[in-house]
Amino acid sequence: MASSLISCPLLFVISFFTLVSMAVARSNLSQIPRDILTQQEADRVTRLPGQPPVKFKQYAGYVTVNKSHGRALFYWFFEATRKPEKKPLLLWLNGGPGCSSIGYGAAEELGPFLTQKGTPELRFNNQTWNKAANLLFLESPVGVGFSYTNTSKDLYELGDTITAKDSYMFLINWFRRFPQYKSHDFYISGESYAGHYVPQLAELIFDANKNVSKEDYINFKGFMIGNALLDDDTDQTGMIEYAWDHAVISDGVYDDIKQNCNFKVGRSTVKCDKALNEYFSVYDIIDMYSLYTPTCVYDTSKTTTTQRKIIHGVAPKLFSKFDQWNKKPAGYDPCVSEYSEVYFNRPDVQEALHANVTKNIPYPWTHCSNSIMGWKDAPPSMLPVIRKLINGGLRVWVFSGDTDGRIPVTSTRYTLRKLGLKIKEDWTPWYTYHQQVGGWTTIYDGLTFVTLRGAGHQVPTFVPRKALQLIKHFLANEMLPSKPF
């Protein structure tokens, strides 16, 4: 697919710089039409309840992605803390599928404002990623968080394909509302099931950019995904290997799974199901998303459940049918998601965010949707898409917190081995502050893999300073330091 760009390099270069020059001209706010500025101002969030004072601007609201069906996606956008006009734009997507990038990414991981226990006040996140980029969060697909559809049958038709298409349409329309960011380098990042979302959206942008109008060209440079669901076979195999190697399951359970389960084929048997039930039962008493942190102990009569509804048809086909696979992730404070759900269901918070403006969303805001009725399509492997995008010249990084049991580092290493890329620099330590090893890197031909020591599934929650260092180096296309500093 990349050959069409290579076939006429001069035309592509001329077109590219024409686009950039047009976008730069539009980046001057005085050149933006008044009606567009009015739309931006309508989305401006002046101050959230309990928010600490900040100097950067924030915006939130809805972008329509399908007028005939009444589908609209909710976003929350933060300008960079300093010199936003010179910083790239980064879109963050959480996975699930069906889980909120607002609830997890923005409010518990990498956004500037984090929820707290026992207080309605937000705290400022000193390791917020909008120190490195202009930061955009999206609740996708419809039915997730504040995003909605006026056509109820849409909730039965969701899947990977429509999620990517709606997210792409969101970007096209968001850039029309904020044309000053058209000239900025654009990147996507995310975690977990975003191992599907991010490459699929990246592929849509990559393909569309070859034929799209000048107005809708996106200055897309690359993506980075963490603890990401990428390949059913290696993801599931790695989960079992990791659990045994980290003393989570017994030799007997491990042997039963190895003998009776074929993850490559993906078919289930009675003996396999019995062994997997024993495997998953361990994660009823410890946190699959973070093996070495406490679980949340709370009064179930006063708080929401950590179990979310099973969405049939998602990847991986075998594991996703088990109840325990569908537990919501927690955080370093294992009850943090309980605080966020209280906060985002407050009427004054929703009003400040321009969310649920018609009051017609018939269910409370939750981290992971209970309204999605099925999942139509989920390919068993994202590796063909990743190969294509690497060959197309996009920057691709994969990172992994090494205490996550959900999509463990073992799974990701098996997956990247399956990708078959040539290793240019193998398993090198990288250093964070105070001369400490932050993790390890492997540099492939076209892809960089990074581990982060001591991090669970939601890496920025567990090791926020290392995560900020990671995103800064990714955006700058600079390798992490291989020597103490």
Q: Where in the sequence numbering do the catalytic residues fall?
A: 192, 404, 457
Question: Angle at Cα 186 formed by Cα 43 and Cα 388, nearest 5°?
Answer: 135
Closest CA to 158 of 355, 384, 369: 369
**DSSP assignment of 43-70:** HB----TTPPP-SS-EEEEEEEEETTTT
Buried b (16+ CB within 10 A) or exposed e, 51-76: beebebebbbbbbebbeebebbbbbb
Integer Cα distance of 423 and 95 in angstroms: 29
For residue 173, give both structure tokens: 């329309």
Which residues, 6 or more positions from 13, have their beta carbon under 8 angstroms from its beta carbon? Answer: none
Integer Cα distance of 198 and 221 in angstroms: 13
Phi and psi at residue 280, to the nearest 5°: -70, -30
How many CB atoms are located within 10 Å of the residue 147 CB? Answer: 26
Give the CA count within 13 Å in the CB-facing half-sphere of 391: 14
